[in-house]
Structure 1
Amino acid sequence: MTDVALITGTSSGMGLFTAVELAKRGLQVVATLRDTGRSDRLRAAAAAAGVDLDIRALDVVDHAAAAELVDAVTRDHGHIDLLINNAGQGNVGTAELLPMSQIRSQLEVNYLAPVNLTKLVLPGMRERGRGRILTVTSVGGAVGQPFADAYCGAKFAVEGFMQSLAVVAERFGVQVGVIEPAAVASEFVANVERPSDAGPYTPLLAAYIARSTGAFANAQSAESAAVAIADAATAQDFRFRTQTSPSATAFVSTSLADADGERVLGFTRPWIG
């Protein structure tokens, strides 16, 4: 029986290449994106790889639409064996600059949407006694960073949710984990929300943007990150936490071994000058 994978956020970047990579490995991939009118690159990449994808529309923040999609995929393919919550949104801004609407938006896309889809696929996986749920978070899900208050807050939240769920879900044969990329060359940066006027924070934000620009200039390729995601999705030896590159592993380790929090603060202070 062919495993069925449902992936969100596949119009570009890691999502696009992960969908194609999993299809190359023999999975039936249901690739979702908010606007199927933007699926040309996805279709071209699938054609170039000689694989077929089931491409469907999904705005992940529309929970009713997500429920309808899961029902339709289950009806059409019989089951969902793998969920990859890949859709995400970035945000730059510190607390005083952030309108509550942007903070809520970060929670909707980066936290509540993956939680909702996880809840939707869990019953079927539990009943079959097998399944795997992976959420693409970020090194920002383990390391709080300047001017990423809302983004890191949402990513921390989803990692906490998934880590709490993992030990319960595994009792029913369902494996839950997170994928933590560092900087990845994609359209993610172009889509980041950012303040038009940083006021007294302007020089600090400028230093942070300059540092981030350098990081993304040497970013991991989306293709390479997708291979790491596909490896985690198909691995025999499953782990809750997976980074997509050695630099991501080193970065996350800074926080996970930081009992009092000072290691991370000392690491990130120079980012803002």
Structure 2
Amino acid sequence: MKKNILITGTSTGVGLESALLFAREGYKVYATMRNLDKAEPLHDAISKEGLDITVLPLDVTKVDTIKDTVATIIKADGKLDILLNNAGAGFAKTLEQTSLEEIDWVTNVNYLGVVKTTQAVLPHMRAAKSGHIINITSVGGLVGQPFSELYCGAKFAVEGFTEALASYVGEPFNIKFSLVEPGGIATEFMNNAVAKTSNDKGEMVTGAYKPIFDTFLQGAQDRAANGDATAYQTPEQVAAIILDLAKEENPPLRKRTSDWAEQLCHLKTKADPTGNKLLQEVKAKFL
């Protein structure tokens, strides 16, 4: 039986390209998204290429949709080989100007969604003593960046969550854990962040922070507009790295996806680029 993979957030970007690439490589893909109205690109590819992709509804903020989708996969295949936690959303705003509702939202989408989806999948992988959980974080999961404290905080949380799980679930139950840490990705990610955090005048940040934010945003927009190859990757490039990671017999705990990402994080990662050394030390110290 071919390997299968559950991917969250496949309507656009890295999730969409990962679903297509894994299917073209012979995997059975369960491509999920919150809004099935955005599934047309997947359906077009399925029709044109005969890809083995099943599109299912899954909102990472709603536990019932997670459980229903996992149950559907287990009923169909009796197993789940790979979970790719890709769903996430950008958020750029000052803490002072962020509402409590927005704090809950960015945390739910970028952190708690990963926790809940992993929780639903783990019993099946543990019983099978086989599986690979790949969590997409960001260089923002290693390096805090201006106006991204809530987004970075959520991604830092995913990093710690994954590292801790790997320390005691990985080896005894033959479950692999990997963190994929891209830098900038040339998608609508920043545009979505702008739309989500702007007020009715189109302003994301006002008051004393505005001059600093305008400089920050202009730099991000200039890099994207100029197609800065050092800072931005395409979704296809990141998807290819995820596929290679999934094929590795002993994948690293951490994987940056570009030289730019490596350079940004090097002060935190140069002693242990993959995270595997520290993972082994933690296991030796505590278990």
Q: TM-score, normalised by structure 1?
A: 0.90
- Aligned-partner residue type, residue 252 of structure 2: R
Per the TM alignment, residue 230 of structure 1 is displaced from its structure 2 partner at its CA by 1.2
Per the TM alignment, residue 48 of structure 1 is displaced from its structure 2 partner at its CA by 4.9
Instruction: After superposition, give the CA deviation of every residue in 1:166-187 in whole Å (9 maximum; x if it has no partner).
Output: 1212121001111111111112
- After TM superposition, list the pairs within 5 Å mapping 1:221-232 onto structure 2: 221-232=234-245
Partner of 2:90: 90
Whether 2:64 is the aligned partner of 1:64: answer yes
Partner of 1:215: 223
Structure 1 range deviating more: 127-136 or 237-246: 237-246
Any conservation in 1 of the 2:93–2:197 contact (CA below 8 Å)?
A: yes
Matched residue of 2:18: which SS?
A: helix
Whether 2:107 is the aligned partner of 1:107: answer yes
Mapped partners of 2:50, 2:235: distance in 1: 19
Whether 2:248 is the aligned partner of 1:240: answer no
Partner of 2:164: 164
Any conservation in 2 of the 1:33–1:57 contact (CA below 8 Å)?
A: yes
Q: 1:243/1:49 Cα in 2 relative to 1: closer, same or farther (>3 Å)?
A: farther
Whether 2:208 is the aligned partner of 1:200: answer yes
Instruction: After superposition, give the CA deviation of every residue in 1:21-66 in whole Å (9 maximum; x if it has no partner).
Output: 1111111100001111111112234445542211111111001211
**Which runs of no fewer than 5 residues in structure 2 stay unpaired?**
272-287
Moved over 6 A (4+): none
Mapped partners of 1:114, 1:46: distance in 2: 27
Whether 2:184 is the aligned partner of 1:183: answer yes
Any conservation in 2 of the 1:183–1:215 contact (CA below 8 Å)?
A: no
- After TM superposition, list the pairs within 5 Å mapping 1:16-95 onto structure 2: 16-95=16-95
Matched residue of 1:54: which SS?
A: strand
Structure 1 range deviating more: 152-161 or 68-77: 68-77
- Aligned-partner residue type, residue 209 of structure 1: L
Mapped partners of 1:35, 1:185: distance in 2: 22
Q: TM-score, normalised by structure 2?
A: 0.86
Partner of 2:277: none
Partner of 2:268: 255
Instruction: After superposition, give the CA deviation of every residue in 1:113-164 in whole Å (9 maximum; x if it has no partner).
Output: 1111111111111111110001111110001000001100100011110011
Partner of 1:133: 133
Instruction: After superposition, give the CA deviation of every residue in 1:45-93 in whole Å (9 maximum; x if it has no partner).
Output: 4445542211111111001211111111111121111000000011011
Query: Identity, % of aligned pairs?
Result: 36
Matched residue of 1:108: which SS?
A: helix
Q: CA RMSD in A?
A: 1.5
**Which runs of no fewer than 5 residues in structure 1 stay unpaired?**
259-273
Partner of 1:9: 9
Matched residue of 1:175: which SS?
A: strand
Mapped partners of 1:201, 1:48: distance in 2: 49
Q: 1:248/1:44 Cα in 2 relative to 1: closer, same or farther (>3 Å)?
A: farther
Per the TM alignment, residue 190 of structure 1 is displaced from its structure 2 partner at its CA by 1.7
Mapped partners of 2:255, 2:270: distance in 1: 16
Mapped partners of 1:252, 1:9: distance in 2: 26
Aligned length: 258
Mapped partners of 2:145, 2:168: distance in 1: 30
Mapped partners of 2:222, 2:2: distance in 1: 42
Any conservation in 2 of the 1:169–1:176 contact (CA below 8 Å)?
A: no
Mapped partners of 1:249, 1:257: distance in 2: 9
Per the TM alignment, residue 238 of structure 1 is displaced from its structure 2 partner at its CA by 0.7
Mapped partners of 1:146, 1:63: distance in 2: 32
Mapped partners of 2:149, 2:156: distance in 1: 10
Matched residue of 2:190: which SS?
A: coil
Q: 1:213/1:255 Cα in 2 relative to 1: closer, same or farther (>3 Å)?
A: farther
